[in-house]
């Protein structure tokens, strides 16, 4: 048996056809799951009993336990306990354009980025598509409102869980599923080059964000071990191939770390690196944690860094800060719980 939330509409259509039933039964099931949000197969009143019995035999309708909620102005952080007692997090942010949810894709992370709390706790396993879908559904139920934007940038490296991520996008984006527009879904990667190249050939028009965080191999090697496998030259070549195929703007995420990657020279080298690429740079003030030695760049340094990029006519923003009074760093709430 498996969670029915792991199945896309096309998966269920194939399931019903193989059963000797009409494909439209899959649409009926999807409507019960995602439009009416039933929690039992017995609530699917327009589906005959013999099919309900078969569904119960092959699938279950599962849920996640919200273990803890931390709240701050315009942001909530949720700690989920999965069925195997593993813990992951989601962060809900209230923007002027609507509610955006940052979800986790793995229990822990093997990428080992030195500044990241998630990477301090090594990967235990991948999340299934259902466990990612349920992060959204459980929070929508909790707040009594729809979430319109999804960012796959929580605990884990999404492209290290590629197949489940693709399945998740298919369900979340589908008009009969969660109905989240493809341009309202952003997937972030620290730079798994083969998966960027694979992803560019898929039919989804979702946004791609690259966790760059350094303008040179020298700096990036020190803070992001993945760079020793796929150095910046390979990463940027993959980005150019992605742009050539999709014609979709890429975001470069850049956490500013005091004395590490925030000098005037670093700013100019970053501009040189992305020059001519259809992109924008998202500068991120660092969320300090008790476990890691890195410090946030000073406000005047952040503004100077921003001004240099702006003067070079490259699209740049400073990420609006959320959650200053909660465990804001990715993986921090889970880490605190597991340290107890």
Percent of the chain exceeding pLDDT 70 equals 93
Strands 185-189 and 149-152: parallel
Q: Which structural domains are found in the chain, ordered by start?
A: 2-60 (1.10.150.530), 65-339 (3.20.20.70)
Tell me the pLDDT tens digit for each residue of 287-315.
887 767 899 999 999 999 999 999 999 99
Residue-wise pLDDT for 48-68, tens only, equals 999 999 999 999 999 999 999
Quick: pLDDT tens for 126-154. Answer: 999 999 999 999 999 999 999 999 999 99
- Residue 79 region, left (φ>0) first, then alpha (ψ -120 to 50), else beta? beta
Residue 43 clears pLDDT 60, i.e. is over it: yes
Which pLDDT does position 333 carry in this prediction? 52
Residues 180 and 150: beta-carbon distance below 8 Å:
yes
Helix (H, G, I), strand (E, B) or coil at 257: strand
- State residue 339's pLDDT score: 44
Report the C-alpha gap between 103 and 85 in whole angstroms.
18
What predicted TM-score, i.e. pTM, was given to this entire model? 0.91
The dihedrals phi and psi of 302, each to the nearest 5 degrees, come to -60, -45
How far are the Cα atoms of 204, 224, 237, 294 from residue 245, in angstroms, in the given order? Answer: 12, 27, 12, 37
> 75-81 and 65-72: which strand pairing?
antiparallel
Q: How far apart are CA 313 and CA 316, in angstroms?
A: 9
Torsion of CA 44, 105, 146, 81, to 10 degrees: 70
Q: Got the DSSP string for 229-255?
A: HS-HHHHHHHHHHHHHHH---EEEEEE
Look at residue 250 and tell me whether its pLDDT is greater than 90. yes
CA dist 67 and 249 (Å) reads 37
Question: Catalytic one among 13, 70, 89, 170?
Answer: 89
Confirm whether 89 is a catalytic residue.
yes
pLDDT value at 335 more than 60: no
**Does the pLDDT at position 157 exceed 90?**
yes
User: Which residue in 102, 116, 279, 330 is the catalytic one?
Assistant: 330
Largest CA distance in the chain: 69
Q: Could you tell me which residues are beta bridge partners of residue 59?
A: 2
**Mean model confidence pLDDT for the chain:** 92
Both tokens of 240, joined, read 């150019």
Tell me: the pLDDT tens digits for 186-233? 999 999 999 999 999 999 889 999 999 999 999 999 999 999 999 999
Q: Six-digit token pair at 216?
A: 């040179």
What is the per-residue burial (b if ≥16 Cβ within 10 Å, else e) of 95-110? eeeebbbbbbbbbbbe
Spatial separation of the C-alpha atoms in residues 16 and 38, rounded to whole Å: 20
330 is catalytic: yes
Mean pLDDT of 239-256: 96
Contacts of 100 (CB under 8 A, 6+ apart): 92, 93, 147, 148, 149, 150, 151
Q: Please give the angle made by the CA atoms of 21, 26 and 29, to the nearest 5 degrees.
A: 120
Measured between alpha carbons, how far is 241 from 102 in angstroms, rounded to an integer? 27
Residue whose C-alpha is closest to residue 321's, from 4, 15, 78, 75: 75
Centre a 10 Å sphere on the Cβ of residue 327 and count the other Cβ atoms it contains.
23
pLDDT at 97 > cutoff 90: no
Higher pLDDT, 291 or 34: 34
Cα separation of 89 and 328, whole Å? 11
pLDDT score for 327: 55
Q: Of the ranges 114-123, 290-299, 316-325, which is most confident?
A: 290-299
DSSP run (H or E) holding 227: helix 226-229
Name the percent of the chain in helix, strand, coil, to the closest 5: 40, 20, 40
74 pLDDT band (50/70/90 cuts)?
confident
Question: What pLDDT score was predicted for residue 116?
Answer: 87
């Amino acid at each position: 048996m498996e969670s029915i939330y792991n199945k896309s509409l096309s998966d269920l259509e194939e399931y019903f056809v193989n059963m000797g039933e009409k494909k439209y039964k899959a649409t009926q099931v999807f409507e019960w799951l995602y439009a009416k949000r039933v929690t039992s197969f017995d609530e699917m009143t327009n589906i005959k009993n013999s099919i309900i019995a078969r569904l119960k035999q092959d699938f279950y309708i599962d849920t996640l336990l919200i273990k803890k909620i931390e709240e701050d102005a315009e942001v909530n952080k949720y700690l989920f306990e999965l069925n195997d007692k593993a813990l992951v997090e989601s962060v809900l942010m209230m923007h002027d354009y609507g509610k955006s949810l940052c979800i986790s894709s793995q229990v822990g992370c093997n990428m080992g980025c030195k500044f990241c709390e998630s990477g301090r706790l090594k990967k235990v396993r991948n999340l299934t598509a259902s466990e990612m879908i349920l992060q959204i559904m459980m929070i929508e139920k909790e707040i009594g409102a729809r979430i319109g934007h999804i960012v796959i940038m929580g605990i884990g490296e999404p492209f290290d869980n590629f197949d489940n991520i693709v399945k998740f996008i298919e369900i979340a984006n589908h008009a009969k599923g969660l109905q989240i527009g493809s341009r309202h879904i952003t997937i972030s990667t620290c730079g798994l080059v083969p998966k960027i190249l694979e992803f560019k050939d898929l039919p989804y028009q979702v946004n791609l964000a690259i966790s760059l965080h350094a303008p040179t191999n020298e700096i990036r090697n020190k803070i992001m071990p993945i760079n020793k496998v796929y150095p910046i030259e390979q990463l940027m070549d993959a980005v150019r191939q992605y742009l050539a195929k999709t014609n979709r703007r890429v975001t470069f995420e850049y956490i500013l770390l005091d004395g590490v990657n925030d000098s005037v020279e670093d700013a100019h080298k970053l501009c040189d690196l992305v020059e001519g690429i259809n992109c924008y740079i998202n500068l991120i003030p660092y969320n300090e944690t008790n476990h890691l030695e890195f410090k946030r760049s000073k406000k005047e340094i952040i503004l100077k860094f921003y001004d240099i990029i702006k003067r070079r006519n490259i699209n740049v923003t400073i990420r609006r800060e959320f959650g200053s009074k909660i465990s804001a760093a990715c993986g921090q709430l889970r880490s605190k719980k597991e340290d107890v």
